[in-house]
Chains A and B, each alone.
Chain A
Amino acid sequence: MKQGTRIPALAKLLPFGTLAGCAGMQSALQPTGAEASDIGTLFWTVTGISVLTFLLVLAFMAGALKGSPGLRRRISDQRTIVACGIVLPVFVLSGLLTYGLLVMEAGSTRTASAEGPGITIVGKRWWWRVVYETPDGREVVSANELRLPVGRPVAIRLETEDVIHSFWAPQLGGKLDMIPGRTNVLTVEATEAGISRAQCAEYCGGAHAMMAMFVVALPPDEYDAWLAAEAQPAASPVSALAAKGEAIFAEYGCGACHTVRGSAAAGIVGPDLTHVGARHSLAAATLANDRDAFVRWIAQNQHIKPGNLMPPFDMLTPEELAALGAYLDGLE
């Protein structure tokens, strides 16, 4: 994304300059997942064959316009036309269709191999509820960040509680819609550890562009340790300021919408905040994750992400906001 905005204007005019805009953590051209690799190979194969076909057509045109009478006769020969105009397209297009169908099939065969616990992602306006299943069958509710184990195919159930959204993590796989009333299953397998970015790919209202999240692929043992920690209740505040923030959080009724496991806050409307401080972003990859961002978000969220469903708490004093920021930032 960031790199994309920094391309010199001239480079944008060139086809390969445009490809440079696709570099970075949200690029389908830099796959770090098995599905995205398959799709990437399909993409480059189709692109290569298209370029070859284009060059072949150019060569025929040049021959027909400037070639010797003998060459022009051979080009206009009935057999050439049948071979290049009918037989070749039938073979090439049928081959590509088969290849494409096989790649799609590959997704479903991998679905069968995704035997471990799955993950449910629920689209909301404009954020993601992410529910992990632990090996012993418990549910761990989180939000706005997806963590995956490397080398382990995971079935992701895609649902929505309001409008149609679409989940797309370009470095991991293809996009799949979240449709009200049904569950679509996407199987992904991260092939290398690292952070990439997912984006809602179906217009879902005003702040649709701000509905994104980071996807963190971890080595399997780190992932298991992380999930075990994520399942734990929230950490107690370590500083006096954070403890004051915890009291303000309860006093102002934040728990009406948000859950912090281990406290009285058990709201089901907004994102689960039990370990919000450990995530890489706030508000579905809208803000960085630090104390300042919490303060800005709580008091001015309607300026930052207009129309989002959290009411602004601009009645809080700067001291109260600072304490809340310290508390939430400490929920790691």
Chain B
Amino acid sequence: MKLRTVSRRSIFVGVGATLAAGILLGAAIVASGVYNVAASVEHFRVTNLVLEFALRRSVDFHSRDVVVPDGLDDPDMVRLGARHFASGCAICHEAPGGSRLPVTGGMYPPPPPLDDAAAKWEDRHLSWIVRHGLKFTGMPQWPGEGRDDEVWPLVAFLNALPDMSPADYRQAASLQPAERPGEASVDCRSCHGDASRPPVSDLVPPLHGQSEAYLLRALAEYAEDRRQSGMMEPIAAGLSSETAATLAREFAAAPRPPVRLYGEAADPSSLARGEEIARLGLRERNVAACLSCHSGTRSPHYPRLEGLSEAYIRQQLTLFRDGKRQASSHGRLMTAIAKRLEDDELADVAAFLASAEAYGGPADTSASR
């Protein structure tokens, strides 16, 4: 038998025709509407395998530059993560000891329980997913623009979750007896504490005794997307102006919490350097003295700092310095000052401002933990 010689031209025509037929067939299937997008119908097994592989690769690739901070095993971080999980995430992801979620359980893909998340993903993966969300899954991105720092308490919580009993979880998330595991209320006191209990974490400021004008301004800035926080923005946006006014008035009328000492007292030389900046400023680098605005009978629009933790003051100063709070006039005012602080000065001044010496009041050592 004689083999026919196939010309190069006919190979091109053949391949091209096959491709075109394939594309036409695909387009015809899409256009016909035969493919079922219903959440009630599961993917083919192969589709699931391909999607899962693509998702893992994508998360791994895009989280390659994420820097994991220290201290993710800090119980304080875990508590904040647990509390936020209870009020923000457990509406979709089943909480320990929680019941079946009839509505969101019907999503496809269903939001998975997260007990094994820490086993399946590395810290950088988890933080990236919480920060950026996942397309076509219902997992939203973090609502606080630029607040990469805010997702770490959730990573800390997810790491601790596999070892948590439902009771551990209730305790970590400070759930009140009336609150169900997956439906924590967004009552301010549950996170910010009140006269009888401290805030859920050092990264959460106590609100009682804060100035009313400041509280109103903070709520308005969160609600109008002028101050970024994935935790506070959704809550503030849901408040009516009457409710916000009432809350601000009530919190302002409550007595300010005593300054607490957190764990071991800070290094005395750090406190001394911080005191100099807070009281006198730093002339050579044009840093204004903190206490000129943040003590005594200053403008009600300036927040009172007594009772705030070192971690919170340091976090907010860092946000100011990195330009993440520049969308308001007051934010720009603090940004201009915070930008002039070096890392160690920022830490020193936070240590001092969180200490009782800054305000001349006695420390409440009983509340330290």
Contact = CB atoms under 8 A, between A and B. Distances in A.
Contacts of B330: 315
For chain B, the bracket of interface size reads: 20 to 34
Given A313-B333, A314-B329, A253 B288 contact: yes
Contacts of A314: 329
Pick the most buried of A252, A269, A313: most chain B CB atoms within 10 A of its CB: A269
- Secondary structure dominating the interface of A: loop
B293 A161 contact: no
A255 B297 CA distance: 13
A214 to B, nearest CB: 24
A221 interface: no
A253 B299 contact: yes
Contacts of B241: none
A269 B292 contact: no
A162 B116 CA distance: 56
Interface string A239-267: 00000000000011101110000000001
A311 interface: yes
A51 interface: no
A218 B336 CA distance: 39
Interface stretch (B29-37, B83-91, B192-200, B279-287): B279-287
B329 A161 contact: no
B141 to A, nearest CB: 31
B254 to A, nearest CB: 23
B194 to A, nearest CB: 29
B220 interface: no
A118 interface: no
Given A253-B288, A256-B288, A315-B301, A268 B281 contact: yes
Size bin of chain A's contact surface: 10 to 19
Given A253-B298, A253-B299, A256-B288, A267 B293 contact: no
A256 B301 contact: no
A257 B292 CA distance: 9
Contacts of B299: 251-253
Contacts, number: 57
B345 to A, nearest CB: 14
A251 B297 contact: yes
Contact of B288 (A161, A267, A312, A315): A267
Nearest to B302: A253
A56 interface: no
Given A161-B283, A253-B293, A256-B293, A269 B288 contact: yes
A309 interface: yes
A269 B287 contact: yes
B356 interface: no
Given A255-B292, A311-B332, A269 B297 contact: no
B72 interface: no
Contact of A312 (B281, B297, B332): B332
Nearest to A265: B292
Interface in A288-319: 309-315
Contacts of A268: 280-281, 283
Nearest to B297: A251
A255 B298 CA distance: 11
Contacts of B284: 161
Contacts of B289: 256, 267
Given A253-B292, A309-B336, 13 more contacts: A161-B283, A251-B299, A255-B292, A257-B286, A257-B288, A267-B281, A267-B288, A267-B289, A268-B281, A310-B336, A311-B337, A315-B329, A315-B330
3 closest Cβ pairs, A-B complex = A253-B293, A256-B292, A315-B329
